[in-house]
Amino acid sequence: MAEVAVENVTKRFGTLKALDNVTIDFPDGGFFGLLGPSGSGKTTLLRTIAGFIFTDDGTIRIGSKSVEQIPVEKREIGMMFQNYALFPNMSVADNVGFGLRVRKVSLAEERRRVGEALELVQLGQHSNRKPHQLSGGQRQRVALARAIVTNPRVLLLDEPLSALDKSLRVDMQIELKRIQREIGITTIFVTHDQEEALTLSDKIGILRAGRMVQAGPPREVYNNPTDVFTASFLGEANILEGAVDGNSLRLTDGDAIPIPKGLKTGATFAVRPENISITTEEPTERDTPKIQARLKQRVFAGAMATCILDRNGSTFKVISRDRDLPQLPEGGPVWLSWEPEHTITIPN
Amino acid sequence: MSTLILKRLGKIWLALILFFLYAPILVMAFMSFNDSQYYQLPFEFSLRWYQDLAGNSEIIAAATRSVLIALITTIIATTLGTAASVALFRFEFKGKRILQVLLFPPIAIPWLITGTAMLIFFFGIGLGRGTPSVIIGHVALALPYVIVVVTARLATFDATLEEAARSLGANSWTVTRRVTLPWITPGIIAGALFAFAVSFDQFVVSYFLSEPGDSTLPVLIYTAIRKGFTPEINAISTIIITISMAVMLIAARFSNFGGER
Amino acid sequence: MSNMLVKQDRLRIFGLLSPAYLWLTVAIFLPLSAMFYFSFLSEVPFGDAEWNFTTDNYRAFFETPTYAILLWKSIKLGLMVTLTSVLIGFPCAYVLAKTIQGRSREALFLLVILPFWSNSLVRIFSWAIVLRGNGVLDRTLNAILPFELDINLMFSTPAIVIGLVHSYLPYVILTAYLALQAIDDSLIDAARSMGAGKITILRRIILPLSLPGLLAGAVLIFVPVVGSFMEPRILGGRVGTYYGTVIEDQFVAVFNWPLGAALSFILLAVVLVILALASPILRKAQT
């Protein structure tokens, strides 16, 4: 187990900067998510930490050791691949034992450790099966057992759950977290699923176009995004723009909403869809931020409902429990309001 | 780094293999333009062997026969093969698996065996040697290739396209003509070119089935080689190999042979 | 499914399939049966010849050691050509499938496969020009090397092997390439992440996974080489007597068709045994 530190890492593919001066550290024993749209460099970063790709610039440390020059097979990492990459010609036990065999561990020891790893992922009874005889979830467990059986210093997961269907995915998230906690290994995973990243991670890093845009604990990043991209990539955000005028924000169409005190001009504000209430009457509290909009569409999705609203050409989205919503006239004017502390300030 | 050296070595190996595959053919082509009858160097450019060819009525007759046989083979094999492919692809029925397995003997059994067996049978039924026998043999050898290539193309066909056409009111014939056939046309063209190549390059079966003095080009070349090499054989061989490679290059463009397209 | 077919469909299937399979019956399956029948005759049953049923032709194979020796010689030739092709073809297929990327891979692959689809007789002939004494190879090597060297490979077993390898090498490159391409690169990545070196990866991942493809290619080479006669004739000269050339002689020179038929049938039996042994592997290679 070890801490992983990435400092000023740059990687070019031809003229494309896949990683642009990326710095982030992953403290020992934590569970970290790398998140970003496709092409953002998150997989490149993971493969750089693994050692499949060598950096052009910058340092990568695992523990106290600098590893940029060490190829993957010497880096003592464990990796789980998106499609699991189980060797189809080997049984479950041989798959899991592969890394031990390479390290010339004795046969008895190999058998013991493979057994332990399979117990850990609750697959003890399937050790003689071939990968094609397993279900998707079982393959995932084998891949995990195989990645941790050699006691690597860091566990890297490339889109670990993306091949599973939704209900299984939620179970596996819990399972993955349990196993990670149990063995206490530093774990870094890549995902494009923001919910997965928020659920699993102790810390997330958000990448865009090769740059590390923001890193921190999920709640902090979610509540205090440092730019518009992060605000709308991690969760959804209704963006409000205008000019700061004393203690209020004057929107471009003339309306004003109260904002936290002491802000400089030039900031952008955002409100999460789940924090907005819709009412037909104007809210009476004086310092409640409120604006008027027209309901365009109300989409029912079981417990929750999504309302799409229009305000002078810009679209607002509101998510709330369906039964909390009043009867709303489609096309009619409504009021949107939220608690003052839910106005997210994005420093420009 | 060792990975780089290995990669370099691999590419050199590939280059050597390509050299091995093409060098003799290029030497042959080169020599066919050499003036000397005994392949003497220095090289002196000359078209005399090609001119000699033009005056050799035996070779011209054999060449014409070869092309004709190949064309007839192509037409028959492509028609029958396409029909069979459609049935094999479209329908599920008992014995389908066996019918598919039966395509392999013409490909997998050495032509020496097939050729001699045909010779015996055609004599037995009174047909004997000659161009009709050669054509019957060639079509049988080409059929499996056509069926394999066309079926492969059919397998890439999205069946919902037919359903979509039908939902838009097209009847079964219109669907076949306007949707299915246009899609498999490249496969049919590729299959036809394969059939042409199989027939045009076929030596063994032609050798046993063609009448002496009435033979196809490869058989004539074989007889000539056994009498002794002449630059004239070089010239005609160069022409043949150019044609067959060109045919295959075009076929490769129409089938997805060698990569996804 | 099959019992749900309506009558119209049955007619359609029959109409589409029967021409092709009728043709194959007349040109392949009936001739093979006829040859089997013929192999038990004493004489060619045409004209006024007297003939009767006999097993003499098969007995000849077992009583005259020449035939068995030649069959063994042909099998050895087949093994040699197959092994050589696999050894030089596999690395080539590997480079094509795993090292070379993008469009140039497609072009190079086509270039490797192309000769295979050109006239084999002509390609064998081209080797005759290169290999004969005072031929191109001889003169090129003597021009490069400082000492006199008399290479006359023509009319020798190596010449036959070279010619046959040239003819059939693309087969094994094709099948090995397809097998190697089907191996997901992430398997190699996974093995590396577990600390495996190149040799371990080759031995435990790549070879086992490409084995079906390699064996398919080997069978596709071995079978026609055992039955080859044109290549040994042109490149082998006097040492070029093989099982195939003996069969050829029975049909075009000696005119002992029944013996030829029996010898052909024995060869067919050998081929069928090999195909049967390989078929589980071949089936695996297909999927």
Please say if the pLDDT value at position A329 is more than 70: yes
ipTM of the complex: 0.88
Fold annotation for A236-347: OB fold (Dihydrolipoamide Acetyltransferase, E2P) (2.40.50)
Fold annotation for B50-254: MetI-like fold (1.10.3720)
C-beta atoms of B39 and C129 within 8 A? yes
Question: How far apart are the two ends of chain C, measured CA to CA in Å?
Answer: 23
Please say if the pLDDT value at position B72 is more than 90: yes
C276 touches B at CB < 8 Å: no
Phi then psi for residue A229, to 5 deg, are -60, -50
Q: Given pLDDT bands bounded at 50, 70 and 90, which one contains residue B258?
A: very low
CA B158 to chain centre: 29
C-beta atoms of B136 and C135 within 8 A? no
Q: Which residue has the higher pLDDT, A265 or C262?
A: C262
C-beta atoms of C190 and A87 within 8 A? yes
B-contacting residues of C 24-53, CB under 8 Å? 24, 26-32, 34-35, 38, 46
A99 touches C at CB < 8 Å: yes
C-beta atoms of C267 and B112 within 8 A? yes
Instruction: Tell how strand A77-80 and strand A154-158 pair up.
Output: parallel
Dig out the tokens for B65 from the structure. 């026969």
Cα dihedral A244, A246, A248, A252 sign: negative
C63 touches A at CB < 8 Å: no
Chain C residues inside the 8 Å CB shell of A103: 195
C204 touches A at CB < 8 Å: yes
Answer whether A205's CB lies under 8 Å from A215's CB: yes
> C-alpha distances in angstroms, A36 versus A96, A166, B6?
31, 20, 36
- One-letter amino acid for residue B160 of the chain: T
In the complex, which subunits touch B with 3 or more CB pairs below 8 angstroms? C
Residue of A nearest to C182 (CA): A88
Picking from B203, B190, B235, B195, the residue whose alpha carbon sits closest to that of residue B59 is B235
Summarize pLDDT for A183-218 with one digit per residue, the tens. 999 999 999 888 889 889 999 999 999 999 999 999
B204 touches C at CB < 8 Å: yes
Dig out the tokens for C111 from the structure. 């270039």
**How far off is chain C from B123, nearest CA to CA, in Å?**
9
Structure pTM? 0.84
Domain ranges of chain C: 64-286
Summarize pLDDT for A220-233 with one digit per residue, the tens. 999 888 888 888 88
Q: Is B191 exposed, middle or buried (0-12, 13-18, 19+ CB in 10 A)?
A: buried
Class of domain C64-286: mainly alpha
Domain ranges of chain B: 50-254
- Superfamily (CATH H level) for A4-230: P-loop containing nucleotide triphosphate hydrolases (3.40.50.300)
**How far off is chain B from C26, nearest CA to CA, in Å?**
8
C-contacting residues of A 301-340, CB under 8 Å? none
Please say if the pLDDT value at position A81 is more than 60: yes
Among candidates B10, B28, B105 on the partner chain, residue whose Cβ is nearest the Cβ of C126? B28
Summarize pLDDT for B167-176 with one digit per residue, the tens. 887 887 888 7
Among candidates C113, C170, C271 on the partner chain, residue whose Cβ is nearest the Cβ of B109? C271
Task: Enumerate residue ranges in chain C where pLDDT < 70.
Answer: 1-5, 133-135, 149-151, 282, 284-287
Measured between alpha carbons, how far is A124 from A136 in angstroms, rounded to an integer? 16
Residues of chain B above pLDDT 70, percent: 95
Please say if the pLDDT value at position B38 is more than 70: no
Residue of C nearest to A73 (CA): C195
Q: Given pLDDT bands bounded at 50, 70 and 90, which one contains residue B47?
A: confident
Task: Enumerate residues 6+ apart whose C-beta is below 8 A from A169.
Answer: A161, A196
Measured between alpha carbons, how far is C247 from C256 in angstroms, rounded to an integer? 9
For B143-150, what is the mean pLDDT?
91
Chain A residues inside the 8 Å CB shell of C209: 88-89
Domain ranges of chain A: 4-230, 236-347
